[in-house]
Structure 1
Amino acid sequence: MKRSLVFGDIHGGLKALIQLLERIDYSESDRFIFLGDYVDGWSESKQLIDFLIDLSQKQECIFIKGNHDAWCQEWLENDVINDIWFLHGGKSTIESYADIEFLEKEKHRQFFNDMKDYYVDENNNLFIHAGFSSMHGPEKEHYKTNYSWDRTLWEMALTMDKRIRKDSLSYPKRLLLFNEIYIGHTPTLHYNVEIPMQGCNVWNIDTGAGFYGKLTCIDVETKAFWQSDVVQSFYPEEKGRNK
């Protein structure tokens, strides 16, 4: 039976992803959906992209673009080093690319260019890195950067008064557009939670792999989830995105 397996933000933690895949009893028929932020944090960002490119040759993979991926793409294409990016994981990513050759760099550029801003599956589930603000859906979003930066969707879903019914005029129109919404971007560690969180029909799968948390994968249908060990345990001499 084909499953949709959704992965949270990885932030260069290749070893954690390899361990997580070993813990999932998956088959070639399963679909992998990655919610973005593949780079910036741990020291294997370039190696992680190599791994994902190879994985996509064997498995159906959907790659959503995160804000860190957009920064990295800008650097790969134009040699532009965003100052904020450099201080929030970009430095480790640049170092991981130190010995890349021209043809390999071109392959990586194409990989970043092919990433999706969001994806809607056959069951009307939305997969997006951060969120969207338009009540008409992400396709009507005026500011495209919201796909990888918006946190209002998650904050609204998390703090919704559970007494408000879906047929109420007060119920947020954004939440009625999709069956379920899967996001990353905002680590659940901010709420002292180490596993996926749910607010209304929004599921947050970013369990802080770039900091002191674990990397997580969740089954869309059953909500079973798997996690790696704490990612920092694979890189004991590194700080990741921790300050």
Structure 2
Amino acid sequence: MANSNRTLVIGDIHGGLKALQQILKRAAATTNDQLIFLGDYVDGWSDSAEVINFLIQLKADYNCRFIRGNHDALVNNWLKTGEANEKWMQHGGQSTKDAYQEIDQGTIKLHIQFMDDLENYYVNEQNKLFLHAGFSNLHGPDYEWYKHVVYWDRTLWEMVICMDPKIDENHDLYPARLKLFKEIYIGHTPTTRIGFNEPVNFQNVWNIDTGAAFKGALSIMDIDTKQVWQSDPVYQLYPNESGRN
């Protein structure tokens, strides 16, 4: 039986609805749990529109926080303006355009509202930060001059993976921005890029993006126990597709 009142954090989904349903079942998620989604719900596998439908329904029954990812911002802009830049198209945009071909305008309006309501970041009562990518300002994400930094930044992750593990928060060289929060949870940069198939921890930063958009699995983690549940590799759930490969 699952423990009650857990906080479960979910990595980048990228249109993999089958994987999302799989991990929620494997983690035995209930309405007693808080579910924190780290963004990038779209662009990749063919179910981008259906992922948004599912999350809207989930929000009605579960305690959810939805963080904004860079792909979500790109898709929201496309739904509003029709703008489809070439770089977005090369990185999953085409699959999302295809997924919306049969979606009616009423549903699209609901999806736009959902994406408008996404949070750039969330800090819980234990001073744990949840955001899609990272932040560069020494005073925290609220002080970023450009708000989109928090769903595009890679410098936070690049910094912690290169740090000497012997340098702790009491060291003179310990980065000031890491001292702001007890723990930081991010997605955006797949852990598979550095050879890990599960969520990875460096310093007080946890990366939950395990490459679901490519050859990896989708992951969900209990932030207190650090127990992880994963889907099957998502490409196996969509055998006739290429995702973002």
For Structure 1 versus Structure 2, the TM-score category normalised by the shorter chain is: over 0.9
- Are positions 1:203 and 2:203 aligned together? no
> Equivalent residue for 1:226?
229
Q: Which shows bigger deviation, 108-117 or 82-91?
A: 82-91
TM-score by length of 2: 0.97
Question: Shift in Å at residue 78 of structure 1?
Answer: 1.0
> Equivalent residue for 1:124?
127
Partners of 1:27 and 1:73 in 2: CA distance: 29
- Are positions 1:63 and 2:66 aligned together? yes
Question: Shift in Å at residue 26 of structure 1?
Answer: 2.3
Change (3 A) 1:230 1:169: same
Partners of 2:234 and 2:49 in 1: CA distance: 17
Question: Shift in Å at residue 168 of structure 1?
Answer: 2.3
2:83 equivalent among 80, 83, 93: 80
Partners of 1:235 and 1:69 in 2: CA distance: 21
Name the SS for the 2:125 alignment partner: coil
- Are positions 1:23 and 2:26 aligned together? yes
- The letter of the residue matching 1:193 is F
- Are positions 1:162 and 2:141 aligned together? no
Question: Shift in Å at residue 163 of structure 1?
Answer: 2.1
- Are positions 1:90 and 2:93 aligned together? yes
Partners of 1:164 and 1:33 in 2: CA distance: 30
- The letter of the residue matching 1:36 is G
- Are positions 1:235 and 2:238 aligned together? yes
Question: Shift in Å at residue 142 of structure 1?
Answer: 1.4
> Equivalent residue for 1:4?
7
Partners of 1:26 and 1:11 in 2: CA distance: 20
Partners of 2:95 and 2:17 in 1: CA distance: 13
Partners of 1:167 and 1:212 in 2: CA distance: 39
- The letter of the residue matching 2:194 is Y
1:212 equivalent among 199, 208, 215: 215
Question: Shift in Å at residue 143 of structure 1?
Answer: 2.3
Residue ranges of structure 1 left out of the alignment (5+ in a row):
none
- The letter of the residue matching 1:76 is L
Cα-Cα RMSD: 0.8
Residue ranges of structure 2 left out of the alignment (5+ in a row):
none
Partners of 1:232 and 1:102 in 2: CA distance: 30
- The letter of the residue matching 2:228 is F
Question: Shift in Å at residue 64 of structure 1?
Answer: 0.5
Post-superposition CA distance 1:75-118 (Å, at most 9, x none) = 01111112111111000001100011121111000000000000
Identity of aligned pairs, percent?
53
2:183 equivalent among 146, 168, 180: 180
Q: Number of residues paired by the alignment?
A: 242
Partners of 2:55 and 2:168 in 1: CA distance: 41
- Is contact 1:71-1:82 (8 Å) kept? no
Partners of 1:82 and 1:62 in 2: CA distance: 29
